[in-house]
Amino acid sequence: MKDDTRDNRLEFLFKGILTLDSVEDCYHFFRDLCTPFELQEMAQRMQAAKMLKDGLIYSEIAERTGLSTATISRVNRSLRYSTDGYAKVLDALDLQEKREWRNRH
């Protein structure tokens, strides 16, 4: 299937993101790039993806995140049938969290 979202501008953006070295760098860059609403929307979608992966139901996710069930459904479709973008990031974050926990104990 052809991916119509790929173009040189997006590639430039993603390469730029990959140059960021820290969470603080991400805060600075994304605050310049996005509106506060856009940042919150992306953060809520990531939280919804984690909650779906953890087995929470739509109504609980909607209550905790403020997202509509339609948006939660869209995130769920991406988790189940898309390119594994959410899954890859969530798995990497889980692994990082486990490493950090081990280093503290």
For the segment 55-101, what is each residue's pLDDT rounded down to a tens digit?
999 999 999 999 999 999 999 999 988 888 999 999 999 999 999 99
What residue spans define the domains of the chain? 1-33, 44-104
The model scores a pTM over 0.85 = no
In angstroms, the CA 21 to CA 24 distance is 8
CA dihedral 15, 20, 21, 22 (to 10 degrees): -140
Architecture of domain 44-104: Orthogonal Bundle (1.10)
pLDDT at residue number 18: 97
